[in-house]
Amino acid sequence: MLIRSNGISNVFLATNDDIMICNPEGEYFPLVQRLEGQVIKISPTSKHHINPMDINLNYSDEENPLSLKSDFILSLCELIVGGNQVGVPAQLVQF
């Protein structure tokens, strides 16, 4: 979903929710500064990294967090290899 800067401002003013913006071109940087937000630059040369394998075992009360993370990792691998399948066949996944 695309939210313009006025939409982000409205969400910021109306809730106490955390707002995360994926901003590869940097166009929201001035808005984040005005709202006293934190900018984390992620690149191969930055000191910040994201670990997609990291798991929070308290993530969900309704579903098994390990199952949710496994689904995410399989989807991520499918995107990386350029697949367009809806799911990964079970015989391709080895544990």
pLDDT in tens, 9-68: 777 778 887 777 888 888 888 888 888 888 888 888 989 888 888 888 887 788 888 888
What confidence score (pLDDT) does residue 94 get?
Answer: 45
Please list, residue by residue across 23-57, b when 16 or more beta carbons sit within 10 angstroms of its beta carbon and e when fewer do: eeeeebeebbeeeebeeeeeeeeeeeeeeeeeeee
Does residue 84 register a pLDDT over 50?
yes
What confidence score (pLDDT) does residue 89 get?
Answer: 53
**Mean pLDDT, residues 57-83:** 84
User: Scanning the structure block, which residue is given the tokens 């940087």?
Assistant: 29
